[in-house]
Chains A and B, each alone.
Chain A
Amino acid sequence: MKNNLTRIFLLVLSIGYVGILKAQTPSDDLLMQKREFCVALLYDAGSWDQYWEGTRLRSNANIGTFSKKALTSMVAYGITNKINLIATLPYIQTEATGGQLKGAKGIQDLNIAIKGEIFNQQVGPGKISFLATGGFGTPVSNYLSDYQPFSLGLGTNEWSLRGILQYRFDNGIYVRGAAAHLWRGQTKVERDFYYNNGAYYSEWMDVPNALNYHASVGTWLFNSALKIEANYMGLRSTSGDDIRIYNSPQPTNQVEVDQVGFFAQYYFKTIKPLQGFGVIASYSKMIHGRNMGQFQNYGFGITYQFKI
């Protein structure tokens, strides 16, 4: 089942003009086998021309169209057949067509996750599996989180715990759900006074924790060379304030996202010189949000898998 191995976690969730999720989080059922590597390069282009100020969707001519491009390198490694290590590191560039504010660019956060399969067994006409992921992300450059919406990310550590449940029919069709809790720390900003439903005298801002949901329906086609999938992603901050009228967002904001998307991945299984390679394409659009730009994202990627 070599083809099973390369499929990696490629929901590129670089949502958020704040890069809320920082980078994609492993939320699928796939695992590398022991001593197997997968490396990937992913490009994601997101943009919005409207954003939710609190829950009000609005435009702002001093931003115009906002765009965020991310180039993410990723490596996954099979520690055992049941436990994988995954690391991602994105380079991000943001800019706006309106107004006079400078965009930002640079390396964002290093994310490391460990994914393990808790069980996987045949039940009826398919297999049911449950996996869990524990992740940690931390900024690796001195980007400013308090420069919204241009900030590369939230500028804080993030710990995550995720449960993934999937049922895969023997014919290749699958349904999958995942739920995670994201614990965010505080972010250091370049001022020691700010407003968050009241005055704060601190260089630190609390970044709200969040719940993160994924749901997917998909299928494997052409002898498991092609995977296509429709998916949903939800994010709910568990606290935080709203962007005030015509004011800038800040890392303390309560962010909500509902996003739908498609995802396709193809493995070059039979074309000799390309064996080990795969390509990925994704599309997503936010359909509901709060304190967030209404992103539409296109993603492309290339993966390569090998064993040592």
Chain B
Amino acid sequence: MKNKYIFIVLTLGLLFGLSCEKELLTQADYTDYAFAGIDEKGGSWKPILLSGASQIVIPAPKDVTSDEYKTELNNVKLAMSTLNTAQRETIAYWTNNPILRWNEIALELATKYNLIPEPNADGSYPVPDAANPGKYPLFPYSHPPYTCRALAYLSVAQFDGLISAWNYKFKYNRKAPYEVDNSIVPAYAKTALPAYPADAAVVAAASRDILIAMFPLEKDYLIAKANENMVCLTWAGVNVQSDVDAGAIIGAEVAKVALQRAGSDGMKRAQTPRAISDSIKTAALNRFGWQWDNQESPVRPVGLAPLFGKVKMWNVPTVEEVRPPVPPKPGSAEFNVAVQELKDVTKNLTTEQRKIANWWSDGLNTYTPPGHWNRFAKNFLIKYKFNPLRSARTLAYMNMAIMDAGISCWDAKYYYHYPRPIQTIPGFKTILGTPNFPAYTSGHSTFSAAGAEVLSYIFPAEAQQCQTWAREAAESRIYGGIHYRFDAEAGLTQGKNVAVYAVNRAKKDGAE
């Protein structure tokens, strides 16, 4: 009998234990919200790529008194009267600021495709092929340069599209369905924003087309997502179909403009053949007397995106003007100090330091450091209840700065071609994997300082927090054993310097 009691106790213990399990979020936990402001003058802000807010043309809307509009309004009411639970959940998912969801979708795809190619049986390495994306290794390999670029185009297209939308909203001033017919109770917080064209449809269409170009294997998924986002607008009672259609036109057109730039920004040449990679390495050896060599087995013959440093920058005229100074020569006193620090820190790593290293590792199969900063930005956008236009502006300037920081960082990495700690310190072991590119400067530090600088400008009250995060991200690479302190320090300065160009442009775009 005793056994029985023991097992009863154990079973109860089990049930108690399992009931303590945490709910694991798969997306940001937020709902629709009332915007802190509606930026009536948003249509006059200066776009990034478009010549102006009326470069993209949409038809003038029918008046709310027209038969066409009344039919559309009735369709909205009909759809709203028959919504099922799944439809209501979909409406709740998208919210009235789908900028946040599309950014989240982009981060998830970046994570999914952030896998480094494995070697072939003969020790060579295959390279993803944009012309044949479904063949292993799948295209893209969304490493940090790839991801920061995808996010920049996504955010810029959203921003320019919304400036265009704001222009027409206040030009035509067509009211939202719930203002035309007060029997309609919208699913989202009411706003004084005119409804034509639907801002969310701009975001959905632009995001869909940019992300299809960046993640071609996800085309069907992205089309379905965009359709879902758009249909929610009538279900939610915030737009009629012609609002949505006009928004979709702007979204598709602005994506074309952005993708035209992307097609000629130099990214296609960033991952070089072996011969070019070798010549870059030799140039560094001749110039400085050192070179970085990949330490993997088998050796990867080409580093990650050697010519990403040549990609067209958004806001910095020439990459050379933000290039950091020459790092200390291996074997020099300054170098030896950095090496000694690395040895000491990694040998006596505290629990806190280990956590910092892992917290910021943002390596393979993650959203990378640019993704991490987009996550921070989204949390602020929600906290400060930014409308979609101002949200897009924040992300556009931040992601342009982060991409420019990445370009500048990669320029330094391959110009200086500086060896990693595992190459210069015999027998050195680390808790983080060493990436397949040179050490100087630290990408984490550069990306993070740039992200922090823009977010500090947009959210002055969060500046302290952002700078603390950037500093921690930089330090994390020392704790992880994969960067010298001078990589991190130079990266922080470099990222900040690069971001100043974006902030200076933002200050003059008319939004202040």
Q: Which residues of A are in contact with B by a Cβ distance under 8 Å? A: 61-62, 64, 80, 82-83, 98-103, 114, 116-118, 132, 134, 136, 142, 144, 146-147, 157, 159, 161, 183, 185-186, 189-195, 198-202, 204-206, 244-248
In the complex, the answer to whether A193 meets B366 with C-beta atoms within 8 Å is yes
Query: Which residues from chain B contact A62 at a C-beta distance below 8 Å?
Result: 296-297
Query: Which residues from chain B contact A114 at a C-beta distance below 8 Å?
Result: 6, 10
Query: Which residues from chain A contact B27 at a C-beta distance below 8 Å?
Result: 199, 201
Query: Which residues from chain A contact B112 at a C-beta distance below 8 Å?
Result: 195
In the complex, the answer to whether A132 meets B22 with C-beta atoms within 8 Å is no
In the complex, the answer to whether B24 meets A202 with C-beta atoms within 8 Å is yes
- The 7 A-B residue pairs with the shortest CB-CB distance, nearest first, are A61-B297, A190-B358, A246-B118, A116-B3, A134-B10, A102-B429, A199-B108
Known A-B contacts A99-B297, A102-B429; A83 and B6 likewise in contact (beta carbons under 8 Å): yes
Known A-B contacts A100-B429, A185-B18, A202-B24; A144 and B111 likewise in contact (beta carbons under 8 Å): no
Can you name the residue of chain B whose Cβ is closest to the Cβ of A98? B297
A26, chain B: closest CB distance, angstroms = 14
In the complex, the answer to whether A199 meets B26 with C-beta atoms within 8 Å is yes
**How far is B375's CA from A246's CA once the two chains are assembled, in angstroms?**
26
In the complex, the answer to whether B26 meets A82 with C-beta atoms within 8 Å is no
**How far is B374's CA from A193's CA once the two chains are assembled, in angstroms?**
13
The interface bits of chain B over 380-397 (1 if a CB of A lies within 8 angstroms of the residue's CB, else 0) are 000000000000000000
In the complex, the answer to whether A159 meets B366 with C-beta atoms within 8 Å is no
B47, chain A: closest CB distance, angstroms = 31
B13 adjacent to chain A (CB < 8 Å): yes
In the complex, the answer to whether A199 meets B10 with C-beta atoms within 8 Å is no
Query: Which residues from chain A contact B104 at a C-beta distance below 8 Å?
Result: 199
In the complex, the answer to whether B6 meets A101 with C-beta atoms within 8 Å is no
A56, chain B: closest CB distance, angstroms = 11
B109, chain A: closest CB distance, angstroms = 9
Apart from A185-B18, A198-B108, list 10 A-B contacts with CB within 8 A.
Answer: A61-B119, A80-B2, A82-B2, A100-B428, A114-B10, A185-B21, A191-B366, A199-B367, A202-B25, A246-B115
The interface bits of chain B over 247-283 (1 if a CB of A lies within 8 angstroms of the residue's CB, else 0) are 0000000000000000000000000000000000000
Of B3, B20, B137, which contacts A132 at CB under 8 A?
Answer: B3
**How far is B10's CA from A114's CA once the two chains are assembled, in angstroms?**
9
Query: Which residues from chain A contact B366 at a C-beta distance below 8 Å?
Result: 191, 193-195
Q: Which residues of B are in contact with A by a Cβ distance under 8 Å? A: 2-3, 6-7, 10-11, 13-14, 17-18, 20-22, 24-28, 104, 107-108, 111-112, 115-119, 136-137, 295-298, 346, 351, 354-355, 358-359, 361, 364-367, 372, 375, 422, 428-431, 433-434, 481
Known A-B contacts A157-B17, A159-B10, A246-B118; A204 and B295 likewise in contact (beta carbons under 8 Å): no
In the complex, the answer to whether B24 meets A102 with C-beta atoms within 8 Å is no
Query: Which residues from chain B contact A134 at a C-beta distance below 8 Å?
Result: 6-7, 10-11
Of A101, A136, A191, which contacts B13 at CB under 8 A?
Answer: A136
Known A-B contacts A61-B298, A202-B25; A247 and B3 likewise in contact (beta carbons under 8 Å): no
In the complex, the answer to whether A191 meets B361 with C-beta atoms within 8 Å is yes
Of B22, B28, B351, B428, which contacts A202 at CB under 8 A?
Answer: B22
In the complex, the answer to whether B367 meets A193 with C-beta atoms within 8 Å is yes
**How far is B116's CA from A80's CA once the two chains are assembled, in angstroms?**
57
In the complex, the answer to whether A200 meets B25 with C-beta atoms within 8 Å is yes
Query: Which residues from chain B contact A198 at a C-beta distance below 8 Å?
Result: 26, 108
**How far is B117's CA from A184's CA once the two chains are assembled, in angstroms?**
33
In the complex, the answer to whether B3 meets A118 with C-beta atoms within 8 Å is yes
A261, chain B: closest CB distance, angstroms = 28
